[in-house]
Structure 1
Amino acid sequence: MSNAIAKTPCTIVTGFLGAGKTTLVRNLIETANGRRLAIIVNEFGDVGIDGDILKGCGVPDCPEDRIVELSNGCLCCTVADDFVPALKSLLDQNEPPEHIVIETSGLALPKPLVQAFNWPEIKTRVTVDGVVAVVDGPAVVAGRFADDPQALAAQRAGDSSVDHDNPLEEVFEDQLLCADLIVLSKSDLMTEGERKTVTAEIAGKVQRAVKVVAAEHGKLSASVLLGLGAAAEADLAARPSHHDNEAEHDHDDFESFVLDVPAQTSPEALAARIGAAVAAHDVLRVKGFVEIAGKPLRLLIQAVGNRIQHQFERPWRSGEARQGRLVVIGERGLDAAAITSLIAG
């Protein structure tokens, strides 16, 4: 028991692209009430947009040297090279964190990451306090992951040559099945009836009793998210996965590219062009920072499907290159040239 108490608790925050993970983690940093936190944020692509958002918080209890960005691939695929060394570097600090929050990429399968906590190098030092799955409520309402199992079975029976696999659905379900707490994000964009419907749909996918909590703008108390005491690494059997019988997995169904954006004159005009690109191509997510001519603040752009948000996030720092960059994430086969042309105008 004393060994378990000595372990540093870690919370894994998982969720599909654009579900609201970074917003949730940023709010957690700002409301931790003096608890020393550290953040490991895993990005898909080679530009650290989410890590930069978190570093902009400026909260003394979570300084920049406790925010670690890993952008060399999905954490569950780079455990030995990236994840374990990152954890050890945090634990070996003079004042180690009291709680570590790990934000996975939207494409990550959480169970392999939970399994990594049994690696000998870290097993005696850390424990998975809980896996928090963030669900984009309005996206589920729109049916993005609402595959009909009976229709799928009928299709399979009717044509054995059809590829039935839906990787987005599998990722979504694996995140739910591994969760100790499910956060229904963007609940302010849903009716009460829609919230009840989505909650019931989630309950139908998850075999064990997992609480679903609604959140607006990522605002949930640290007392809700931290201190779950799940010790998930010792409870793997209760967390089934579509990939349990696979030695490894890949993300060949997805790709990303970085788009350099010059200074813009209008946030609204840029958002409209991004919307046109999303509508015309298989774009799942657009995120990044852009300079607006004459403005001292940098513009944060986040697009999920046809929902495009922009806000002035923080002042450009002295000496900081005002280089606008957007990360575009989508399904394999993105027409980068066409998307670039639409966004660039």
Structure 2
Amino acid sequence: MVMTEQDKRIPVTLLTGFLGAGKTTLLNNLIRDPNAGRIAVIMNEFGDISLDHDLIEEATEETVLLQSGCLCCTILGDLANTFEGLIAKRDAGQVHFDRVVIETSGIADPAPIVHTLTTDYQIAQAFRLDGVVTLVDAATGIGTLNQQFEAVQQVAMADTLILSKVDLTDGFDLSRLEKRLEGLNATAPRVRADHGRVPVGTLFGLSALREGVAAPEVDRWLGLSQEIAQPDPLAGVSGFATTAKPPAALAFSPSAPATHDHRIISASIAVTDPIAANVFDFWLDSLIALKGQNILRMKGILHVEGLQYPFVFHGVQHIFDAPVPLKSWSGADTTSRVVVIARDMDAADLKASLDMLLMKPKAEAAPPELPGGMMVDTLDLPF
């Protein structure tokens, strides 16, 4: 879809985490928080979920009205129908909300929901993905990650990781878990919840795919905030803490092997000079064609030759959000940065793929154009 100067679409937060991680406890606290605004909560396991009874004003077959001014919807049929129902009720003035939080099933793969938000025209006109938040049960996290690959994927796809039940975990086991999470997803900050409570600011505004995003926010989104020192937004907040991380490496770095972890690899690259448009197109088309189903997350900031502004992009598998130009960008830094998290992909293949972004087009005459507008022979390929 075409992005406008003022993106007025409603932000959507995807809340995931394995069974028993504490998603509903977090939601109950979030709905009570006056700083959260009016939220439409979408649940796909409504019959098994117990919102606190004192929060509920009235209930219908489709919707629970909450005393906070929020509402909770069941998923009847598919997610697209639920979104369309929300849009219709909002346009008719029946409900009002500032954002949407989707709680997934404990064993759900987040990717299909991201696809729906991106590819359904009606939904994409009214809503945008604001971020993926994954809860991890600190008490059982190591065992769950060992036994359930779905939990590993949920961690790998997260923009932010919330550690629940930290009070039930000793320091040694918690340290082991955090090291494990770092290996699976080094770009996601980790926040320790206090009995299901976290500051609202740790859950919202996670994506850099929005108009007017500032450079430090892009750095945090790409996991570079430790490299470029940023103040801790939770400093001085009693009971909460983000976990410090070493500087994010701008080179290939596979995750530490573990029971399922060897199936997840991550790599990143920094390219200091602007990238030729056809180099980037060739790299992206090739990676998606060969390994698209294995790409859990891809995100980056790109400086393209001949363009005045850089842009940020984000994709899951072969589906990509509309890139957002950063028209407020200032400064002489033209470094492009790309982060890829994939499953069941050879580490050397992923590194070789990213190295394509370092190629320079030849200055000779243009070769014949291939289907799709790709001019492969203009690239100085290393093979």
CA shift, 1:227, in A, is 2.1
> What is the rounded CA distance, in whole Å, between the counterparts of 2:193 and 2:171 in structure 1?
13
Contact 1:34 1:61 in 2 (8 A): no
1:32 to 21, 30, 34: 34
Contact 1:15 1:133 in 2 (8 A): yes
Structure 1 unaligned segments of length 5 or more: list them: 73-77, 148-167, 245-345
> What is the rounded CA distance, in whole Å, between the counterparts of 2:54 and 2:19 in structure 1?
21
The aligned amino acid for 1:194 is D
Matched length:
209
Aligned pairs (5 A) from 1:99-114? 99-114=99-114
Aligned residue for 2:84, secondary structure, equals helix
TM-score (norm 1): 0.54
> What is the rounded CA distance, in whole Å, between the counterparts of 2:92 and 2:5 in structure 1?
20
Contact 2:39 2:99 in 1 (8 A): yes
Contact 2:55 2:68 in 1 (8 A): no
Give the corresponding residue for 2:74: 69
> What is the rounded CA distance, in whole Å, between the counterparts of 2:340 and 2:204 in structure 1?
20
The aligned amino acid for 1:18 is G
Give the corresponding residue for 2:184: 205
> What is the rounded CA distance, in whole Å, between the counterparts of 2:29 and 2:137 in structure 1?
17
> What is the rounded CA distance, in whole Å, between the counterparts of 1:14 and 1:136 in structure 2?
12
User: Residues 239 and 69 of structure 1: is their aligned pair in 2 closer, same or farther, counting only changes over 3 Å?
Assistant: farther
Give the corresponding residue for 1:182: 161
Larger RCO (CA within 8 A; separation ≥ 6): 1
Give the corresponding residue for 1:139: 140
1:17 paired with 2:19, answer: yes
2:55 to 51, 54, 57: 57
> What is the rounded CA distance, in whole Å, between the counterparts of 2:36 and 2:145 in structure 1?
38
Contact 2:21 2:135 in 1 (8 A): yes
Aligned residue for 2:152, secondary structure, equals helix
Give the corresponding residue for 1:223: 201
Contact 1:133 1:179 in 2 (8 A): yes
* Higher deviation after alignment, 177-186 or 232-241: 232-241
CA shift, 1:26, in A, is 0.9
CA shift, 1:209, in A, is 0.9
> What is the rounded CA distance, in whole Å, between the counterparts of 2:133 and 2:34 in structure 1?
17
> What is the rounded CA distance, in whole Å, between the counterparts of 2:91 and 2:47 in structure 1?
24
User: Residues 90 and 24 of structure 1: is their aligned pair in 2 closer, same or farther, counting only changes over 3 Å?
Assistant: farther
Aligned pairs (5 A) from 1:1-345? 2=4, 5-33=7-35, 35-43=37-45, 48-50=47-49, 52-53=50-51, 56-58=54-56, 60-63=67-70, 66-70=71-75, 78-80=78-80, 82-89=81-88, 91-94=90-93, 95-118=95-118, 119-141=120-142, 143-146=143-146, 168-169=148-149, 171-206=150-185, 208-231=186-209, 235-237=314-316, 240=341, 242=343
CA shift, 1:34, in A, is 6.5
Aligned residue for 2:24, secondary structure, equals helix
CA shift, 1:61, in A, is 3.2
> What is the rounded CA distance, in whole Å, between the counterparts of 1:54 and 1:174 in structure 2?
30
CA shift, 1:93, in A, is 5.0
User: Residues 198 and 228 of structure 1: is their aligned pair in 2 closer, same or farther, counting only changes over 3 Å?
Assistant: same
Aligned residue for 2:146, secondary structure, equals coil
Identity %: 30
TM-score (norm 2): 0.49
> What is the rounded CA distance, in whole Å, between the counterparts of 1:24 and 1:3 in structure 2?
34
> What is the rounded CA distance, in whole Å, between the counterparts of 2:130 and 2:171 in structure 1?
31
CA shift, 1:116, in A, is 0.9
Contact 2:84 2:123 in 1 (8 A): no
Give the corresponding residue for 1:281: none
Aligned residue for 1:146, secondary structure, equals helix
Aligned residue for 1:128, secondary structure, equals strand
Aligned residue for 1:97, secondary structure, equals coil
Aligned residue for 1:53, secondary structure, equals coil
> What is the rounded CA distance, in whole Å, between the counterparts of 1:93 and 1:181 in structure 2?
34
> What is the rounded CA distance, in whole Å, between the counterparts of 2:97 and 2:168 in structure 1?
35
Give CA-to-partner distance per residue, 1:146-184, whole Å, 9 cap, x none.
Answer: 26xxxxxxxxxxxxxxxxxxxx22x11221121100001
If you compute each CA radius of gyration, which structure gives the higher value, 1 or 2?
A: 2
Structure 2 unaligned segments of length 5 or more: list them: 57-65, 210-296, 300-312, 317-338, 346-383
> What is the rounded CA distance, in whole Å, between the counterparts of 1:241 and 1:112 in structure 2?
16
Give the corresponding residue for 2:59: none
CA shift, 1:90, in A, is 5.2
CA shift, 1:192, in A, is 2.4
Aligned residue for 1:61, secondary structure, equals coil
Give CA-to-partner distance per residue, 1:15-59, whole Å, 9 cap, x none.
Answer: 11111000011111111336111110111xxx6232x41564245
Contact 1:179 1:210 in 2 (8 A): yes
Give CA-to-partner distance per residue, 1:164-211, whole Å, 9 cap, x none.
Answer: xxxx22x112211211000011111112232221111011112x5110
> What is the rounded CA distance, in whole Å, between the counterparts of 1:84 and 1:112 in structure 2?
14
Give the corresponding residue for 1:300: none
Contact 2:43 2:103 in 1 (8 A): yes
The aligned amino acid for 2:69 is C
CA shift, 1:3, in A, is 5.4
